[in-house]
Amino acid sequence: MSTVGQIEALAADIGEIVYIDVAKWHLYLSTAKLHTPLAEAIYPLAIAGDISRAGITDILKDMKISLGDGKLEVDLLDLVPARCQSDLMDFLEDYQRSL
């Protein structure tokens, strides 16, 4: 599978696991179209065998999400519940082992 195909597959999985929680409303990253940028940021770490909680936290913190037509920017880290972050880490650790 090509690198693009691997990133797309990773993005699809991430998009079904991770969601943004806003007022108890769950918006999955695939619906929000945020799964591919997140996968593109994570994939190099996975290939390098460098998946770590700190690295993923940094990626989530660096991804800025525009709200209210750009009136406010929030780190993705602040929008993803802790349980979801843990599920993402579990998935990524398994993903990295499968490479």
Rounded average pLDDT over 33-47: 97
Helix (H) or strand (E) holding 51: none
Structure tokens at 64: 């800025």
Single pTM value for the model: 0.94
pLDDT at 27: 97
Share of residues in the chain with pLDDT > 70 (%): 100
Q: Which residues pair with 21 in a beta bridge?
A: 26
